[in-house]
Amino acid sequence: MSKLNKHLFLQQAVTTLGSIRARTWLILGMVALGIVSLLIWAGITVLSWLWSQAPAMTEAGKRFTGEAVTQVEQLTPGLRGQVEQWIPGAKEQIEQWLPKGGEILPTNDVSGIDVGPVPRFPGLIRSYFARDGQTIEVRYVGRAALNVVLAHYVQGFTTAGYTQEVMSATPDGEQHRFRRGHKSIDLSLTRGGQSGLVELRLKQLQERL
């Protein structure tokens, strides 16, 4: 291509770009921003999946990932609200990664044993264990739906021959007592606000004959 042709091509290109209206540029900019936002959301979703596939990830690694997501949120204010409008449920996916009041979920069970005949609900981590004479108390924490966890344990205790007694119930938690012979197990289940966390407490009392 000769210099003259190059000059004519550049001149035509500049003329064409100059004829594009400001509104068109604005629309193109919004489209580009939308694509970038979706790419960021997709990256966060992939990291969330990797998190669920690696329960043994170290606390240092989790803190690093959480800080990285926080930096993304600071650099793109309002990103969660915009993405939520485009893709339903995206906000919940992102909020699972953002810090909520300094909560740090344990990654491994503390020492101790599980109590009761019901297999532990999948995903719960043993965060507390104490033995005092005839009493054993165990606590678990994890992300799950309260009603699903409750149904799991009620069905399990009933199948094992325990009788159920509701001690208290509110929208944020319930307390049940299960008895079989001289054995009594108190169950307390509470939800942790909007973070999706639940805490389960099982207190086993072996009554003296």
Under 8 Å between Cβ of 206 and 183: yes
Under 8 Å between Cβ of 137 and 129: yes
User: Which DSSP state fits 194?
Assistant: T
Domain ranges of the chain: 3-95, 125-206
Residue 7's pLDDT is what?
A: 61
* Straight-line distance from the first to the last Cα atom of the chain, in angstroms, rounded to the nearest whole number: 103
Q: Residue 162: which of 135, 181, 138, 137 has the closest Cα?
A: 181
CATH ID of 125-206, from 3.30.310.80, 2.60.40.10, 3.40.50.300, 3.90.730.10 = 3.30.310.80
Residue 164's pLDDT is what?
A: 96
Residue-wise pLDDT tens for the chain (209 aa)? 555 565 665 666 556 656 666 666 677 777 777 677 677 766 666 565 555 545 444 444 545 555 555 554 455 555 555 555 554 554 455 444 444 444 567 889 999 999 999 999 999 999 999 999 889 999 999 999 999 999 999 999 999 999 999 999 999 999 999 999 889 999 999 987 656 799 999 999 866 54
Sheet (strand 197-206) strand order: 125-132, 135-143, 197-206, 183-192, 173-180, 163-170
Angle between helices 79-86 and 59-75 (to 10 degrees): 90
Residue 109's pLDDT is what?
A: 95
Residue 40's pLDDT is what?
A: 73
Under 8 Å between Cβ of 186 and 175: yes
Under 8 Å between Cβ of 150 and 133: no
Residue 58's pLDDT is what?
A: 46
Residue 100's pLDDT is what?
A: 47
Under 8 Å between Cβ of 129 and 111: yes
Residue 4's pLDDT is what?
A: 56
* Residue indicated by tokens 């793109």: 76
**What is the rounded CA–CA span in Å between residue 10 and residue 153?**
74
- CA gyration radius for the chain? 27
